[in-house]
Structure 1
């Protein structure tokens, strides 16, 4: 897939069906304008639902909800979750949950699944990227110090690789941007297929 702008690509913003400032910033790094209009959906996993199925369903439902509210726009929905031995780890919501998650992840490898769906003229286009992250062993003091920052409260698995928890990352196999919240290579390809240009605002030399 070529990233060269096509004659019929648009330079108008797309709708980002997410409140995540990280996803908006990631889109900006590839020169894509977007307008954030979060989609309110039920994010509860279904009984027996596997992590890849869950994140793909969430991304699709967010994009569909956004498209229903903005029928003439191109809409992007995305979701990211952690999987440890097949169990889905979402946002902790409390220090107790975040503590349990970090204790479980300490010194172990886990999967980070990031799905994206773009709804537009080409229909519903989706991709799911799975990366493997290994955290260094974390003692109680380090976990408590991190919890005190409040950084991981709204992050899947209770930590943010792009923030202070970058000091915990021992190994990453896969896509860094996907772990942050949006797989940029795959997203760029989907946007181009939907007629949305990337590199709309390239950096000055």
Structure 2
């Protein structure tokens, strides 16, 4: 509501408004805005915006861009654009993020065949189709041992002896069935 509008409007002070910047508090409207000449320490670069503001940070080259990304918490998504696929692959291989698009935006959100989600501070879990089911499903490893053979387990408990060690070594070399059920 009003609090969110004021929070986003305050981010307009992060650098110079290059495009947009118009606001209407009564309508809670903020025009799509591009901010230039911002600093990494500016508020728009320190928090998730969730609004129509795009801050631009100028870097000298791809290495500097990758270093900039890696110096911060892992982002929800990285979008890399280049006519040279080696550059896109370099960004993909040298960074970590929830999702990645090369020469496109948001397609990873629309394709249910790709998992969508964050990593670290940008969120946990993957969503879309079966990925959503798996995210909210706990795959629990279960074993139920047959107590009828508990006498054989005496080898597992102290006091240990050379004879027990010999029996254990022999037991682990043989695959047995019927002693445990994996659930």
Which TM-score applies when normalising by structure 2?
Answer: 0.25
Greater relative CO, 1 or 2 (CA 8 Å, sep 6+): 1
Task: Considering fraction of residues, name the structure with more strand.
Answer: 1
Which TM-score applies when normalising by structure 1?
Answer: 0.23
